[in-house]
Structure 1
Amino acid sequence: MISIILQYLLFYPFFHPSFYLSILLSIHLSIHPPFCCSIFHTIYCSVHPSIHPLLYHSVYLSIYLSIYLSIYLSIYLSIYLSIHPSIHPASHPSFYHDIYHSTVSIVLSILPSIILSIHPSVYTSIHPSTILYLNYLMLTIFVLYVCVFTLQEEMDTIPMVSSLLSSLANYSNLPQGSKEHEEAPRMGTLMGVYLPCLQNILGVILFLRMTWMVGIGGVIEAFIIVLMCCSTTMLTAISMSAIATNGVVPAGGAYYMISRSLGPEFGGAVGICFYLGTTFAGAMYILGCIEILLVYIVPQAAVFKMEGLEGAEAEAAMLNNMRVYGTLVLSFMAIVVFVGVKYVNKLALVFLACVICSILAVYAGVIKTAFEPPVFPVCVLGNRTLVWKGFDVCAKVIERENATVTTKLWRLFCDSEFLNATCDSYFTNNNITEIQGIPGMMSGILRGKYSHKMTFYILYIQCIYIYIYIYTYIYIYMQSVFKESLFVLTACICESGILIASLDNVAPILSMFFLMCYMFVNLACAVQTLLRTPNWRPRFKFYHWTLSFLGMSLCLSLMFICSWYYAIVAMGIAGCIYKYIEFRGAEKEWGDGIRGLSLSAARFALMRLEEGPPHTKNWRPQILVLVSMDSELNVEQPRLLSLTNQLKAGKGLTIVGTALEGTYLENHPQGQQAEQSLRKLMEAEKVKGFCQVVISSNMRDATSHLVQAGGLGGLLHNTVLACWPRNWKQAEDHQSWRNFIELVRETTAASKALLVPKNISAFPSNGERFTEGHIDVWWIVHDGGMLMLLPFLLRQHKVWRKCKMRIFTVAQMDDNSIQMKKDLTTFLYHLRIDAAVEVVEMHDSDISAYTYEKTLMMEQRSQILKQINLTKTEREREVQHSPTNPPTPATPQSPSAEAETPGTAVQMTWTEAKCDGEQAKPIGATTPEAIKDLFNMKPNQSNLRRMHTALRLNEVIIKKSQEARLVLLNMPGPPKNRTGDENYMEFMEVLTEGLNRVLLVRGGGREVITIYS
């Protein structure tokens, strides 16, 4: 009951005086038994009471047709003069022809009324039903005549069917700037807004269910329901007024308002739900007109006969009739809309006048019965009233020809017509009495009053028109949204509503979709006001955000009060559409409220992050990814972004940055192209984050700017991800590895962590899977827990999920290896990290000859390049052909002496490089004797110890982790004295050679993982 009145009251979000009319009408209908007759019928009954009631229908129809044609003629002249204001109507060739046809039609329609008023006995010899069907036929012919008469002037311009179908298949809206669009006539507020809304409000629900609702629920309950629904529509209208006065709103209605206020996701979801609701509204009006036709106008036209059927069988037969006739009406209306979309609104005012006349007829009956209450009997069995259906006498038995015979009422309760039949116990134990009925709902307004049949006859035509109007709106709306014809789809959806066949079951579906639309309209206004967006400046004076919030709450409450399972289904559909649009993405940014809400939330969160560094439990890697671009502005290390995606379990910030060399004014287009290239690669690698391009006069400064200025407020990067310089020994100049060392120094100074993947091309892509293997962590120096956290994050990704984690730590001779393993296992248990633990012992050993020679070769090459001032090409040649004496047979050969592949690095305590006296002496000569002295020098003892440590660690790592999928090592810092930078790179190469994938990790100086919850 609630859902039906909701559909009636919520079909359009406008609060009209007709709502007061509906309330007053409901109260009158609950008190007085109105005769649904016209004023003419009432007057004529008093003048000619002996004439059969069907003849009044003929007179009423004649008057109706005369009014209909008069209104049509006046509208035609008004439209004609508005189109051709400078031409007199009489000068048009077809003007007199039109006037002639209209005048003849009016005279012919009034003629039966004139004849009947003069000679009322003329029609007494004609059977009343014949007059009824003749009037139906006359009205049908008249409607067809009006359609042809309307289209007569445009017959020459109507296209052939082939061109019509082609134009419909290739339909496209007019652009905003086109001449046709600019010259399109406007219908105005009254014709284009008020009257169509009024026409939908005064629809089938008003006549079929409003009185039933008042009769079932009572005046007070019905008034409360109407008040709630009217409050919902009134509050929604206020919100829509606020949106409408906040700038120009083009075509699109509620869909446009919601999408521009809450975003394309909400707008698309609610817009499609609104489309579905409007489509089901067409099905509801078809079912309404079929119910009027089969119940009140022509019951004998039912395909599935209901005579003799009761209960579920009669209801099933009625539903089947609704399906058959509904499908036929839908097919006919679809053809009308498909061919004549342009002419659907021609007869809008005429049908609205018919509905208003029918409402006035109801009030005429109310006024008459107020002064002359009807006398009607009520048959009561005990304390239960009986419906006058199936019997004609309110008695169990009657006397006929001195004999007692049973009545039809007897046969309803007994198994036979004889007096000794077995009857229902309640029927046997209670008497039947006939009392005077109280005027009210069952006063006979739905039975036996012919003027009420005329009302339903007019309403039947009104339902057909409203369906054509709705179906046309859907057709045009979907074309404007999707740029293609969805005509067949709309017809199929409408047919699904018709197959439900029950007006009471279709109405809740409409209520859900429309209530959802109104709820989001109110939500849009409330969000815009609470966010206080600068663009939200409505001119509507009576708007307040509390009203929108109240309207949203009412809509949500009514959805669940009406039908909670329908509400859940509707929200589920809208949610699926929302996620689909969010997944596919919108083509345009509309500056909606949800984006404003996100902006406000981001600002609030950033302001809170300014309060201080995050707690250790909340620490997560906020990564700045530094990539380089080639000459074509393509990323040289795409696998670096794959590694970034595999670390996404950290749920932190990701900034992908690159540096371009040059001036900003000259290289701004290249910067935009580089940013676009980064975005495409991030999308391909499914990296969610931001990209940033910095243009500077040199690469060193640009990289420094990225490290310093990346992020915003408290949302700063705390980790830098950069590749190990590739082929740094063979580079034309050494600026690339020098920039890398400076990057290491800057991240250390800024207390940021540094991740350096070595041999990045060997790292897996996001599509690869490791079905087995290990991730080995070599924990030499505690760096805050980064070495523990990173493998855990990697194993959350599908690439590394099947890999197991192993942790190695190095013990000196004076360390207790057993206790170290036990303590490390306990520590990992508290960290909730599942990993195998192994302690590796490194014995002190003498420095081998190979280590001595390796160190000496490194220092010789460094000194030679410093002392000889060569060109870049010569320097590269010198690097490639520097003297490398093979080891003597007495020199022990290291297993990794010949390997030059990238490897993993171990954290070690790195002291400041010392230069011996020979390196400090200025060498001013480049004679062969001076170069010969260089090869006779002894290696620096500090460098010798470092080389020894690097070689020993590399041997241990190769032995344990050569088959590992990934090796993580502590990364030592570079020397403060920049004269030893090249030695630092050489030590790292020695430390990591022989390993396939290495991730060097340098902590930021603070704890990033904790054992506490």
Structure 2
Amino acid sequence: MSKKALTMDVNSDEMKKSGSRFQVARVDSKDEDARESNDIETNESISKHSSRKKSPDHKKSANLPNIDTTTPVSTSNDGRVDFSICPESPCATFSLSGDSMRSRGSIEYTKTNCVMNTIEALPCVDHYRNIFSATGGNLKVRPTLAELHEELDDDEIRCIRKEGGGNYEGSALDILNQGEKVITANPVRFGWIQGVLIRCILNIFGVMLFIRLPWVVGEAGIIQAVLIVLLSSVVTTITAISMTAICTNGEVKGGGAYYMISRSLGPEFGGAIGIIFSVANAVAVAMYVVGFAESVRNILVDQDCVMTDETNDMRIIGSITITVLLGIAIVGMDWEARAQVVLLVILTLAILNFVVGLCIPPSAKQMSRGFLGPKAAFEDNLFSDYEDGYNFFKVFAVYFPAATGILAGANISGDLKDASKSIPKGTFLAIFITTIVYLLIAVFSGMFVLRYANGIVLESATATNVTDIVNNSTGQFLASLLSTSTVANTNKDSILVNTSYLVKPTAPTLEKVFTLEEYSYSREFVSNCSLIPEGCKYGLIPSKQVVEMAAAWGPLILAGIFSATLSSALASLMSAPKVFQALCKDKIFPFLGYFGVGYGANDNPRRAFILCFVIGFAFQLMADLDRIAPLISNFFLMSYALINFSCFDASIANSPGWRPSFRFYSKWLSLGGALLCVGVMFIIEWYTALITFGCVAAMFLYVHHRKPDVNWGSSTQAHVYRSLLQSALKLVRIGTHVKNFRPQVLVLSGEPEARPTLVDFCTHITKKMGLMVCGNVIIGKQGDNLRKILSDAPYQYFFRRHIRSFYSVATASTFQLGAQALMQNVGIGKFRPNLLILGFKSNWQVDNPENVQQYLEVIHDAFDLRLGVGILRVKEGFGLDIETNLSMFHQDPEEDQSDDETPQGSPSEVAGNQDESTAAKQQSNGQSVEVEESSRTHDHDDELGRGEGPDPLINPLLLAKLNTQVLKTMNIFRNKEKGTIDVWWLFDDGGLTLLLPYILTTKPYWRNCRLRVFAAGTRRGDLGYEQRQLATLLAKFRIDCKDMTVLPEINKKPSEESVRLFNSYLANWKLDPHKGETKTKFPWKTTDDELELLKEKTQRQIRLRELLLERSKDAALIVMTLPMPRKSTCPAGLYMCWIDTLTRDMPPILLVRGNQESVLTFYS
């Protein structure tokens, strides 16, 4: 065979950038290709060298089978192959010269390799990568099972791929057929320092560091302030541990907390928290901008340059600031990252400036504002002294946003080079650094600065200079300072002051004339707020400029404040749109898709930036940092709680896919972290916590109700499987009880969307109550029907029609064998069918008699397996399987469309959503209908009338030519019924004939129907007694039925006309010995002896038809006891005549027979 390989060039300009739902990060394959080409060149050089230096045993090796001598292979002395000089390509592949199969991909699988030629592929990272994550065109693809297993040539392989047969992993052709494109532009990618560490540090060192941390110490004291910082760090550390476990359980895409929660807990929680987290980040922008505006406002106040008033000045400054930040963010990630580095440098210098300032002796101005040194303030500030309205958790709520920056790196996970490694490394280091800095600043602030300071500056002058004291910049305190008890001499040239305010190293205890510069400030003097009419304006609590006041150079602290606030605002402004974009791309909330559009190489969501800007702009107009902070705390605590719960939930799900490379986590620690976050939320503000929970619950219910079409392998899915498995095993050990009987139906529906009426009826019985399995018997070989067997189209149909059912397929040489396989094998344990329902075989008169015989044998087999049996007949048919309406739609099989090319939807779905007028309009417009001819499916339970003809499937977009009657038939059981459900409970089968109609009356479609029960009377004729007995029995069963009738005339002889009609049905099914027919050759035909033996039973069926026409011809539904066919006694032809006689031209009728075991009880 030629070694040319089936190749496929993936044009990198023809694929889209991957959406956020794919869990594998993009990898530029150019580096791998370059390395691969270098390896090939190296191998060629080694090969040339090897050809010049041949082994003396090369003649012997010539007999080895099909080893390419150009490939460098070394062998050890014992003859084993040495791989040490093999190419270092990450994806080595082989090509076997004897194979008739060649694989696909952007490289040739026939490329020579170390050992032998084969199309088998060695393990390679590309094989496990989602194709949407590729940024280059040379993504390697694993050979499919069909390519390895089937004996096909290249043309057939292409045909299989085009038809979509099988679930080919990573098929690049499939992607190209979908029109996907890959963007080759190189986006900006960050490492762990610039992408995570710097970003987290800047976001954590936000507005609280310089503006609110001293206030926290003033309110809570040093001890409780340290506890607040540590509690916040505990929450963030536990969350970071959980986040790291999630991040290292596979490669992470963009979306941050939303991505992690949605992929762990599913779209319901993910969608809810995505909205909450995005809004929280947008509001955080406002908080940091307000912090910046407050600092600028303070400068303006100090300089007496207020524009309007203090509050409106903050709004003006904030509006200008957030607009400038928006411009920086829209410019792109690269500029934003550069700005972050500059801001970090300024912030670091500002912190060092504060520490240096603590080592410098304070000036008079600093001392007047409370900066007295470690010994002066430590004791006073050690314990709490809360103002009215504040407590530990109120102060914690104001501080906690300072710790929320831990997700700054995770929020741009899609822009990191290696998110799984960068996020944990950068986040943990950022938490450690910022916690240490917060603790140091908190402790130092409490040690050096008083809670309250009057700001009185005693200028360097003699006390006799009263004018200087009175007129000093801080003064006007003389009236409070002097009192008659402290004045020894009222001469204005000399003032005697009580020295309790002023302390000198050798301070006298007596009043004396003093020089002010000889004395230092005492704690009592500085903290005496009564010396100032307006009270103390300085100190830890009143002043928001404590850090600036204590620093070595105040302007640098201002620069640090600007750096901290602007960097955090910028980080939040970048994070919120990225998270929101990931949410939009997942289409969980379709109406938000407009904001997810990306621009440029980095896919920047400019529309989301604008939305974030609008939210931030609105909240910054509040101009009150202390009101914004608690709201953000609740949102972030909710996010952290769900991240922790995600880790815990994934751990207890015991899914094999949960194997994070980060081992230092505990599911119980994560659970504790989640409970801690929720508890703190309610302690801070219980009503805000309730509102947050209400928002999450509302969005959860919306997404849950909408059921987005996503599959992320969440722990919720793992729990569903785990719960089902445990319940199924537990159910096996539970004994059966009549009170717990539930109908579990196996309906032989064939293709479900071809028989919507039959499927809909069975759904009414089992929905929210029991098991339903749609079985399809395909006549033929398994290999010829793989496409039908592996198709998930039935489940898509179930989803669209809101049908809760399973689907099972069996291939067999006959319908009976296939049905046997389904009845024997469908289900697990006690979670298996106990009732078989078939459609009536209305074409039994013209079909192959062997098929009719098999139809009866299936009923016998069901009774042998102790199943109940039901036969449903609807005179209009079961939907699309009516040949008279479909004969014009057949086409050549070669023109069939593949599954991928068929538009979404189904014939029954379309019909279910349009009324007759719509159908008529479409028909008048001349729309055509195309039919796809499937592999031959046995017409075992329907009204096909096609014999062995094909089973057509209708293109849903072109249904208009189906007449109105077919559309009505397809949806006959999807409209609410009115009238009666007539129950003909002729014989006691265990109560199934009575239970099924009762179940139907509990369903919305049949709720308006009332039950009427008919029972056969005895020969004694005491109708009153029998009717009372029947009423008593129904009352004991708690079945509400007020219309009960006992039929005494059931055993009367039928009319001659009815008998003649029955005989006309049976005419072709009588055995004719004169024609040489024998019972052995024609077992489905009836002999005269059998007719005589079953004469009474036959007359009963004819008589029952007369009674049905008399009493139930207008019923909405008839449920009747199915005649029991005795083995080797009742032939197929006679039995089908019975069934046809009972059901022909009747309303929808279900003939049902239980397995003679009780399904009803009147015991509690």
2:540 equivalent among 417, 422, 441: 441
- Alpha-carbon deviation of 1:301? 5.2
1:808 equivalent among 996, 1004, 1014: 1014
When residues 815 and 979 of structure 1 are mapped into structure 2, their CA distance, relative to the original with a 3 A threshold, is closer
Distance 2:847 2:1036 in 1: 50
- Alpha-carbon deviation of 1:175? 4.8
Query: Counterpart of 1:647 in 2: which secondary structure?
Result: helix
When residues 544 and 867 of structure 1 are mapped into structure 2, their CA distance, relative to the original with a 3 A threshold, is farther
Kindly report which structure 2 residues correspond to 1:988-999, keeping only aligned pairs within 5 A, or say none. 988-999=1139-1150
Specify the alignment match of 2:334 in structure 1.
342
Distance 1:437 1:271 in 2: 45
Kindly report which structure 2 residues correspond to 1:286-297, keeping only aligned pairs within 5 A, or say none. 286-297=289-300
Counterpart amino acid of residue 279 in structure 2: L
1:836 equivalent among 1042, 1051, 1061: 1042
1:694 equivalent among 810, 815, 827: 810
Distance 2:1006 2:998 in 1: 10
Kindly provide the CA deviation profile for residues 875-934 of structure 1, in whole angstroms up to 9, marking residues without a partner as x.
9xxx9xxxxxxxxxxxxxxxxxxxxxxxxxxxxxxxxx99656x7xxxxxxxxxxxxxxx
Report how many aligned residue pairs link the two structures. 732
Distance 1:368 1:468 in 2: 34
Contact kept in structure 1, 2:455 and 2:538, CA below 8 Å: no
Specify the alignment match of 1:683 in structure 2.
799
Kindly report which structure 2 residues correspond to 1:291-330, keeping only aligned pairs within 5 A, or say none. 291-298=294-301, 300=304, 302-305=306-309, 318=311, 320-330=312-322
Contact kept in structure 2, 1:512 and 1:570, CA below 8 Å: yes
When residues 510 and 974 of structure 1 are mapped into structure 2, their CA distance, relative to the original with a 3 A threshold, is same
Specify the alignment match of 2:36 in structure 1.
none
Kindly provide the CA deviation profile for residues 283-324 of structure 1, in whole angstroms up to 9, marking residues without a partner as x.
111111111111344565555425xxxxxxxxxxx2x44444
1:557 pairs with 2:679: yes
1:492 equivalent among 604, 611, 614: 614
Counterpart amino acid of residue 776 in structure 1: D
1:671 pairs with 2:789: yes
Specify the alignment match of 1:727 in structure 2.
843
Distance 1:276 1:620 in 2: 47
Specify the alignment match of 1:332 in structure 2.
324
Distance 2:1159 2:268 in 1: 38
Distance 1:304 1:785 in 2: 86
Distance 1:442 1:849 in 2: 108
Contact kept in structure 2, 1:296 and 1:456, CA below 8 Å: no
Specify the alignment match of 1:69 in structure 2.
none
- Alpha-carbon deviation of 1:255? 3.3
When residues 387 and 966 of structure 1 are mapped into structure 2, their CA distance, relative to the original with a 3 A threshold, is farther
Specify the alignment match of 1:623 in structure 2.
745
1:509 equivalent among 610, 614, 631: 631
Kindly report which structure 2 residues correspond to 1:678-827, keeping only aligned pairs within 5 A, or say none. 678-729=794-845, 731-759=846-874, 761=876, 765=971, 769-770=975-976, 772-827=978-1033
When residues 223 and 431 of structure 1 are mapped into structure 2, their CA distance, relative to the original with a 3 A threshold, is closer
- Alpha-carbon deviation of 1:457? 4.5
When residues 566 and 301 of structure 1 are mapped into structure 2, their CA distance, relative to the original with a 3 A threshold, is farther
1:215 pairs with 2:218: yes
Contact kept in structure 2, 1:851 and 1:948, CA below 8 Å: no
Specify the alignment match of 1:590 in structure 2.
712
Specify the alignment match of 1:638 in structure 2.
756
Distance 1:517 1:974 in 2: 65
Contact kept in structure 1, 2:244 and 2:662, CA below 8 Å: yes
- Alpha-carbon deviation of 1:375? 5.0
Distance 1:334 1:431 in 2: 44
Give the gaps of 5 or more residues in structure 1.
Answer: 1-172, 307-317, 379-383, 405-429, 880-912, 920-939
1:203 pairs with 2:206: yes
Normalised to the residue count of structure 1, the TM-score between the two structures is 0.65
Specify the alignment match of 2:136 in structure 1.
177
- Alpha-carbon deviation of 1:959? 2.0
Distance 1:282 1:445 in 2: 20
1:655 equivalent among 750, 758, 773: 773
Kindly provide the CA deviation profile for residues 484-504 of structure 1, in whole angstroms up to 9, marking residues without a partner as x.
032322222223322443222
Kindly provide the CA deviation profile for residues 350-382 of structure 1, in whole angstroms up to 9, marking residues without a partner as x.
22222222222333343346999965499xxxx
Contact kept in structure 2, 1:769 and 1:799, CA below 8 Å: yes
Give the gaps of 5 or more residues in structure 2.
Answer: 1-131, 139-182, 371-387, 389-451, 457-473, 485-489, 493-527, 586-595, 598-604, 878-968
When residues 363 and 770 of structure 1 are mapped into structure 2, their CA distance, relative to the original with a 3 A threshold, is closer
Distance 1:768 1:619 in 2: 26
Kindly report which structure 2 residues correspond to 1:447-486, keeping only aligned pairs within 5 A, or say none. 449=549, 451-452=553-554, 455-479=557-581, 482=585, 483-484=596-597, 485=605, 486=608
Specify the alignment match of 1:393 in structure 2.
477
Which of 1 and 2 has greater Rg? 1
- Alpha-carbon deviation of 1:661? 0.9
Distance 2:723 2:549 in 1: 65
When residues 522 and 477 of structure 1 are mapped into structure 2, their CA distance, relative to the original with a 3 A threshold, is closer
When residues 273 and 820 of structure 1 are mapped into structure 2, their CA distance, relative to the original with a 3 A threshold, is same
Distance 2:658 2:1163 in 1: 47
Kindly provide the CA deviation profile for residues 562-584 of structure 1, in whole angstroms up to 9, marking residues without a partner as x.
22233233333333333444444
When residues 958 and 200 of structure 1 are mapped into structure 2, their CA distance, relative to the original with a 3 A threshold, is same
Query: Counterpart of 2:257 in 1: which secondary structure?
Result: helix
2:1097 equivalent among 926, 931, 946: 946
When residues 856 and 701 of structure 1 are mapped into structure 2, their CA distance, relative to the original with a 3 A threshold, is same
Query: Counterpart of 2:827 in 1: which secondary structure?
Result: coil
- Alpha-carbon deviation of 1:660? 0.9
Contact kept in structure 1, 2:744 and 2:771, CA below 8 Å: yes
- Supply the RMSD in Å over aligned alpha carbons: 4.0
Distance 2:1074 2:306 in 1: 111
1:965 pairs with 2:965: no
When residues 789 and 506 of structure 1 are mapped into structure 2, their CA distance, relative to the original with a 3 A threshold, is farther
1:535 pairs with 2:657: yes
Normalised to the residue count of structure 2, the TM-score between the two structures is 0.57
Distance 1:752 1:370 in 2: 95
Contact kept in structure 2, 1:658 and 1:694, CA below 8 Å: yes
- Alpha-carbon deviation of 1:640? 0.9
Query: Counterpart of 1:712 in 2: which secondary structure?
Result: coil
Q: What's the % identity of the aligned pairs?
A: 27
Kindly report which structure 2 residues correspond to 1:209-248, keeping only aligned pairs within 5 A, or say none. 209-248=212-251
276-285 or 537-546, larger mean C-alpha shift: 537-546
- Alpha-carbon deviation of 1:725? 0.6
Contact kept in structure 2, 1:280 and 1:510, CA below 8 Å: yes
Flag the structure with higher helix content.
1
Counterpart amino acid of residue 667 in structure 1: N
Contact kept in structure 1, 2:1105 and 2:1142, CA below 8 Å: yes
Counterpart amino acid of residue 876 in structure 2: S
Distance 1:796 1:361 in 2: 77
When residues 777 and 286 of structure 1 are mapped into structure 2, their CA distance, relative to the original with a 3 A threshold, is same
Query: Counterpart of 1:839 in 2: which secondary structure?
Result: strand
Contact kept in structure 1, 2:211 and 2:545, CA below 8 Å: no
Kindly provide the CA deviation profile for residues 214-254 of structure 1, in whole angstroms up to 9, marking residues without a partner as x.
21122333233222221111112222232333343344433
Kindly report which structure 2 residues correspond to 1:854-1003, keeping only aligned pairs within 5 A, or say none. 861-864=1068-1071, 868=1075, 940-977=1091-1128, 980-1003=1131-1154
Contact kept in structure 1, 2:1071 and 2:1087, CA below 8 Å: no
Contact kept in structure 1, 2:1066 and 2:1133, CA below 8 Å: no
Distance 1:583 1:431 in 2: 61
Structure with higher RCO (Cα < 8 A, 6+ apart): 1
Contact kept in structure 1, 2:219 and 2:541, CA below 8 Å: no
Distance 2:529 2:276 in 1: 56
Counterpart amino acid of residue 785 in structure 2: N
When residues 821 and 709 of structure 1 are mapped into structure 2, their CA distance, relative to the original with a 3 A threshold, is same
Distance 2:453 2:978 in 1: 83
When residues 443 and 472 of structure 1 are mapped into structure 2, their CA distance, relative to the original with a 3 A threshold, is closer
